[in-house]
Amino acid sequence: MATQPQPGRSPDRRMAPVAESMAGPEVDLRVVLLTRDQDRLLVALTGREPGEASAHAIGLPRGRPEIGQVLDDTARGVARRATGLAEQYLEQLYTMSVDQSTRGSWKIVVGYMALLSSGPDRVPGVTGRWSDVNGLPAISRIDRSVIDYAVLRLRAKLGYTNIGRYLLPQTFTLRELQSVYETILGQPLDKRNFRRRMLATGILVQTDGQRRDGSHRPAALYQFQAEEDRTTYLTPTWTDSDDTRRSAG
């Protein structure tokens, strides 16, 4: 029931000018698309440096949802246009409000993280460029904040999920698996302890294949248990886009 103004008092209209003059926010969706190259964690960027042909600001792949479009579908489209490939993992990260009062508007920035696997000697193609997260070019404060948070989230989830699988090919050596962990964490790990801990989890299955790594003898290839995907831990089931559409309204 609406609150009625008390007798003798006029309604508080302090918020009326804001409501009348401020339109709804612009939704600006940005995707931190990550892959790995040896010991480097790479992020996809679009744009060109000043002085290059058709120069415009370097930044994250971004887009705006169409009316009625689920945000996850928008993010998938942004990620796939950036590489021409389907991402292995997608997660909404954070939403921030950006003050643009000097322009008479405001916007909501929705950050996403997407992961793309790479092979031992192959980095996925990208329409823009791959940049080392530890050596980014000049980008906006917002883009840098979204990237920093994506790396923070990735590192945190490495401790209680098997999210690293999405930066690996389907089969991999234990050395490659350790390299993924070291790349994400930014520090070396003890080889013996890491292998013992990973094998003890029961999430890995040794295959019949082998792969030679440099001058070393052929190493056994592993893969993750097909039914074992702990990455979705704490992810609501209703985030599926079809379910979201059915429950809308």
Could you tell me the pLDDT band of residue 59, with boundaries at 50, 70 and 90?
very high
The pTM is what?
Answer: 0.79
Q: How large is the average pLDDT for residues 125-140?
A: 88
Could you tell me the pLDDT band of residue 238, with boundaries at 50, 70 and 90?
low
Is 111 within a domain?
Answer: yes
Torsion of CA 102, 108, 109, 113, to 10 degrees: 180
Is 233 within a domain?
Answer: yes
Res 140 pLDDT > 50: yes
> What per-residue confidence (pLDDT) applies to 127?
73
What's the longest Cα–Cα distance across the chain? 90
> What per-residue confidence (pLDDT) applies to 115?
95
Q: How large is the average pLDDT for residues 168-191?
A: 94
What is the distance between the alpha carbons of residues 97 and 110, in angstroms, rounded to a whole number?
A: 9
> What per-residue confidence (pLDDT) applies to 106?
78
Least confident piece of the model among 31-40, 42-51, 66-75, 184-193: 42-51
Helix (H) or strand (E) holding 151: helix 141-158
Is 19 within a domain?
Answer: no
Of residues 242 and 187, the one with the higher pLDDT is 187
Any idea what the CATH number is for the domain that residue 112 is in?
A: 3.90.79.10
> What per-residue confidence (pLDDT) applies to 56?
60
Name beta bridge partners: 43. Answer: 34, 131
Is 120 within a domain?
Answer: yes
Angle at the Cα of 227 (from 164 to 198), degrees rounded to 5?
45
Q: Is 219 exposed, middle or buried (0-12, 13-18, 19+ CB in 10 A)?
A: middle
Of residues 215 and 189, the one with the higher pLDDT is 189
Residue type, 139: I
Cα Rg for the chain, rounded, in angstroms? 23
Domain count, the chain: 1
Res 57 pLDDT > 50: yes
Could you tell me the pLDDT band of residue 193, with boundaries at 50, 70 and 90?
very high
What average pLDDT does the structure give for the chain?
81
DSSP letter assigned to residue 115 = E
Name beta bridge partners: 97. Answer: 108
Cα four-point dihedral sign 195, 196, 198, 203: positive
Determine what percent of the chain falls in helix, strand and coil, rounding each to the nearest 5: 30, 25, 40
176 contacts: CB under 8 Å, gap ≥ 6: 120, 168
Is 98 within a domain?
Answer: yes
Res 109 pLDDT > 80: yes
Torsion of CA 228, 120, 118, 59, to 10 degrees: 140
Is 10 within a domain?
Answer: no
Alpha-carbon distances of 94 from 4, 110, 111, 153, rounded to whole Å: 38, 6, 5, 10
> What per-residue confidence (pLDDT) applies to 98?
77
pLDDT per residue over 211-227, tens digit each? 877 667 889 999 998 76
Is 73 within a domain?
Answer: yes
- C-alpha 123, offset from chain centre: 17
Could you tell me the pLDDT band of residue 25, with boundaries at 50, 70 and 90?
confident
Give the range of the structural domain holding residue 90, as residue numbers without chain letter.
24-238
Res 131 pLDDT > 50: yes
Is 17 within a domain?
Answer: no
